[in-house]
Structure 1
Amino acid sequence: MEDSHSSTVYKCHLLNGEHVYLKIPYSNVKFHRELEAYELLKGRVSIPELLDYWSGDEECPGAFLLSELKGQSLTREVSPTVAYHVGVIHASMHAIQPPSSKRLNGIQNEFSNWSAFIEKQFYSFAEDVKEVLEEGLFNQSVEKFKKMNQQLPSPDGPSFVHMDFRPANIIIDGNKVSGIIDFESVRFGSTEVDFTKLYRDFLSADTTLYQAYKEGYNSIRPLIDLDVVLSFYRFIDAFNSIGWCKRRGIEKNTVFLEENTVRLKEFLR
């Protein structure tokens, strides 16, 4: 599957005409996060059925065999009804809190130290970004992060956050949301981090869709004031994405690198 940027995913065509997916996570940590996510979300949020899994060995981190969600990935060419239901399923996921009766080994609860978690991620990617950006642009980015990070409101949570909630991971069938996929980056944390990519790739394109999404979200739980946090998270998303491209290979991620470099420069103007 071409739109899988981290894990290796195969769409398997069965002799009976049905399809299943074989997913090999990027690392053992991501395998355990995703495995726990299927257990937590089952029956609460629409997701693929986990048909089977293999825990891996020294050479492979493991693998999942997953059912197919009917439909296609979310695009901007949808009705407000679809945007409303995207809001509903997003809020339903955020309504899930850390379980009190079960110890989780894969999904970390970062909520109590949320600011430190965001800072740790930023400076971790900064080591890679420093090798890509010109020095002046890099230093300007670090100073902007320090200033904006101090202005954030109190975090909203603790909630189950996807961390990669983008159109490619939201499956639509007609005017319905079939479900959500890809849980290898999930955490328990603040909801504010989870709107960035959806806004970048979907909500920002049409105010009607944006309003319908908000109405759907608010029907499940109160939506935070996105105007207060989006600029910060869009900025660090662009910055961290540059670091991600360096880690995963600049040559094969050139387009994504260029897109985020342009975004970063716009945020710094």
Structure 2
Amino acid sequence: MVNRVIQQFNLKVVSINEVDDSHSSTVYQCNLVNGENVFLKIPHTKLKYVRELEAYKLLKDRVSIPNMLDYWPGDDQYPGAFLLSELKGQPLTNFASLTVAYQIGVLHATMHQIQPPTTLQLTGIQDEFPNWSNFVERQFYSFAEDVKEVLDGSIYSQAIKKFESMKRQLPPSDGPSFIHMDFRPANIIVNEDKVSGVIDFESVRFGSTEIDFTKLYRDFLRFDCSLYLAYKEGYNSIRPLIDLEVVLPFYQFTDAFNSIGWCKRRGIEKNALFLKRNISILENVLL
């Protein structure tokens, strides 16, 4: 597969390494003969390919992202591929500075300022905002059958009741906004004290911003109050931040539930640690 894509883009490659922590695409870092580093991204499905392509068109010159150097629409065997420039730096860690946390807030809010376009027809990025509650419900129950095979029956029943109860208490949705749906440290690139940009747009939607804070909070913001405050300050400099304390409990719960279903689909053994972590989150909410 990768050789086919390299030939398609006519690349002169010195070395190639597969990138870790990419779940819905295969990603390779390529060092070229001219010393340049580029990335090959091969989505697992055609829909993910189309979403990513449309996202690059929407975000170009508005949000800091890699340059799309080329793209290939695929053939009967492969759904397509992208040739992307390198964002200098490394994925975000918990040792980031307040300056970086502030910049992440600015970046996130800038994405959320983007609304469904009136001049560009989209076929991959859906606008879920008009029926946001139904979208959240569809996502939850689409994983429910998988989760049912993993959890104890009584815990599963509690989770279903909890979802229905918490959903009724949500405030009005905030949007429509461009939402990343996987805004987490692995997808935020930082170079020393500067945020280089954000990557990975195969799950994006238009919808309510409230769902888009969950993974960043889970993996970064909750560990340091000062970073959390700096992030909020950065976000508020672009657009008003919703009351996260009101919506986070619901989305942390649904994210944990859906992640358990994801582990079942993708393989319990190879995702054992992630599964254990999300079962623990779910049980803590239920208790």
Report the TM range for the smaller structure's normalisation: over 0.9
Structure 1 SS opposite 2:271: helix
**Deviating more after overlay: 53-62 vs 144-153:** 53-62
Matched, 1:43 2:61: yes
Residue identity matched to 1:159: S
Residue identity matched to 2:97: S
In the other structure, the counterpart of 1:249 is 267
Superposed CA offset, 1:71-102 (max 9, x none): 00001101101000000000000000000112
Matched, 1:229 2:251: no
Residues matched between the structures, number: 269
Give 5+ residue unaligned stretches, structure 2.
1-18
Matched, 1:79 2:97: yes
In the other structure, the counterpart of 1:189 is 207
Deviation at 1:263, TM superposition (A): 1.0
TM-score norm. by structure 1 comes to 0.99
Matched, 1:167 2:190: no
Q: Which among 154, 163, 178 is matched to residue 145 of structure 1?
A: 163
- What is the alpha-carbon distance in structure 1 between the residues aligned to residue 168 and residue 81 of structure 2? 40
Matched, 1:13 2:38: no
Deviation at 1:14, TM superposition (A): 1.0
Q: Which among 61, 77, 90 is matched to residue 59 of structure 1?
A: 77
- What is the alpha-carbon distance in structure 2 between the residues aligned to residue 108 and residue 160 of structure 1? 10
Structure 1 SS opposite 2:252: helix
User: What is the aligned-residue RMSD (CA, Å)?
Assistant: 0.7
Q: Which among 101, 114, 134 is matched to residue 116 of structure 1?
A: 134
- Deviating beyond 3 angstroms after TM superposition, the runs of 4 or more aligned structure 1 residues are none
Name the % identity.
69
Structure 1 SS opposite 2:178: strand
- What is the alpha-carbon distance in structure 1 between the residues aligned to residue 112 and residue 219 of structure 2? 20
In the other structure, the counterpart of 1:23 is 41
- What is the alpha-carbon distance in structure 1 between the residues aligned to residue 85 and residue 166 of structure 2? 42
Higher relative contact order (CA 8 A, sep 6+): 1
- What is the alpha-carbon distance in structure 1 between the residues aligned to residue 285 and residue 124 of structure 2? 34
Larger radius of gyration: 2
Q: Which among 267, 270, 277 is matched to residue 259 of structure 1?
A: 277
Residue identity matched to 1:177: V
